[in-house]
Copies of this chain bind each other. A is one copy, B any other.
Amino acid sequence: MPMITIDNVSKWYNPTFQVLKNCTTSVDKGEVVVVCGPSGSGKSTLIKTVNALEPVQEGTITVDGLSVTTMKKDLPKLRSRVGMVFQHFELFPHLRIVENLCLGQTKVLGRSEDSARAKAMKMLERVGLTAHAEKYPGQLSGGQQQRVAIARALVMDPICMLFDEPTSALDPEMINEVLDVMVELAKEGMTMMVVTHEMGFAKKVANRVIFMDAGEIVEDAQKDDFFGSPRSERAQQFLSKILAH
């Protein structure tokens, strides 16, 4: 049963510039899909359309059976059930770590301060940051911040998670502490859509790989097929460039 379906989606930034061209794909429950492709190919845009952070002009997107593209009123509720992790973490710098984790729970889900806090601490423990609960985001390293960002998504009990290049703003040393958390998540059966260039991660946990170029989904293949023999020339080129040295 598909958790996310993207059906014939097109998007223009202004009347002349089309970022997404008839994109169609889906992500099954429990599946991990990696999206890759050259810079500017529309990966971030595609993933943001899934919880309607970017509106689309054509096509439909559904999450858990609900149409994201036509819904208006219950969008906030729906979004709270789709976890999202950004390239630059986007923690709220004026709130303590634990407050970052509580904000959505209390304001959106209407949980009590206490239960939100308890849940937050549990999640911090899971990403190994209990000790930093009372610090501000600026006092943590990049890797730690990104782990908090993942925790912030998880406290909302999401039905699926979206990641937009979660490691590309990190120092090389910190990439792995984040990837480890993601691998863990995947193993637990979380449905995930991940934009990343970390081919190691893709090889390890992805079920499928989507390759985008110039707004189109050029290739949508099982992991082994993709790394074994990408069909399109553009994907071959891309892989060779990324994996060379």
Contacts and interface: CB of A to CB of B under 8 A. Distances in A.
Interface of A: 38-39, 171-173, 175-176, 179, 197-198, 200-201, 204, 238, 241-242, 244-245
* Copies of this chain held together in the complex: 2
Given A172-B197, A238-B173, A179 B39 contact: no
A179 B179 CA distance: 26
Most B CB contacts (10 A, CB to CB) among A175, A179, A241, A245 go to A245
A175 B245 contact: yes
Contacts of A173: 38-39, 238, 241-242
Contacts of A198: 245
A245 B198 CA distance: 8
A175 B172 CA distance: 14
A35 to B, nearest CB: 14
B176 A241 contact: yes
14 contacts: A38-B171, A38-B173, A39-B171, A39-B173, A172-B242, A173-B241, A173-B242, A175-B245, A176-B241, A176-B245, A179-B245, A198-B245, A200-B244, A200-B245
A245 to B, nearest CB: 4
A172 B39 CA distance: 9
Contacts of A204: 245
Nearest to A198: B245
Given A173-B238, A238-B173, A245 B39 contact: no
Given A39-B171, A172-B197, A176-B245, 8 more contacts: A172-B242, A173-B238, A173-B241, A173-B242, A179-B245, A200-B244, A200-B245, A201-B245
